[in-house]
Each structure stands twice: as structure tokens, then as C-alpha cells.
Structure 1
Amino acid sequence: MRVQRLQAIIGADVRAEGIEVHTDDGVTYYGPHGQGDVRHDLAFRDLWTSTGTDWESYSWAWVIGFRPLEAGLHHAASDTTKETRDGRS
């Protein structure tokens, strides 16, 4: 678990938040096909403000990581981490 500024989100985090990633003509876009942004932070800003929440307030966000476990094992099954955010205060 960690905290970070909302605007400091990284590419892996925007994917964990549900932002689609696709490539057209060698360019990576974040967001729906045909209307994505080339910068992951701008795509997340659009998603964030679509909920009616203020992006410019420069809020802090909790980032909580989860590791999947396999049945019968007492350790993490992989290094993959799914992260969720809750930046509302």
C-alpha cells in the first residue's frame, strides 16, 4: 500500500483502473478505440473528471496492491499486482 498524488499515475496503474490500451499505426493510445489519448495521464484525467471529481485539486490517492494466491499455497503465486485507487477525500 502507498499514497501518491493523483496526477502521478503511471501507465500500469491506468490499465488497472480500466483504461483501454491499443495501438494504431505504431502509436499507443489510452482510452476507447478511435478517441484515446497518447498520454496515459490525460486519459485517466478524462476518466476521473467524468465522475464529477475535481482533477485540479491535486488530491492524494491510496494505491493498494493485491497478489493472487493459489489454493493450498502460503505464498504469492506471481509477481503480478492489481492496484485500485480511492482518491476521494
Structure 2
Amino acid sequence: QQQNLPLNPQSGATFFVKGKKMEINYSDFDLVIEQAVEFEALKANGFDVEHFFTDQGWSQFFDSLNGPVYPILVKDFWPRCEIYDEI
């Protein structure tokens, strides 16, 4: 039986522990960590578009897309997912 546990007693939010849907060892789980938008690679291929986004104030948005990745969190998240290929 799943039990809801409080995240923060002040917030009222809760979460529950969900069992794994697939068994995979952390060491067997290879992550491919990519940059979502690589302006330097675009520029090297003749597409110097970064200034279009910078001029509109989008730099911080792209910095957040290209921000840190938490491998342990990702490796714990995916084995617990239920994937549906049909609705």
C-alpha cells in the first residue's frame, strides 16, 4: 500500500513512493547529456542566429535549457515511468 508522505509541512504538498516498472542497474544506464541549443555549433555551420535571441531577451531562457543535469535523479526517474504508446 502506497503512503503519501509530506514534502514540506508548510506547503501541504505530498508525494508517494512508486515502485520501479523496469529493473536496470545505475551502472548500466547510460545517459546522453546534450545541449538543447548549441549556438556555437550553429554558427560553425553558417547559422549565426544567437544575436536574434539575445536582442529579444531570451538568453536566460536558453541558459536554463542548457543548465545542469542531475544524473542520479534521471536514473531514478525513468525506471519508474509507465510508457503508453496508445491512448
Structure with a larger share of its residues in strand: 1
Please give the TM-score of this superposition, normalised by the length of structure 2: 0.26
Larger Rg over CA atoms: 2
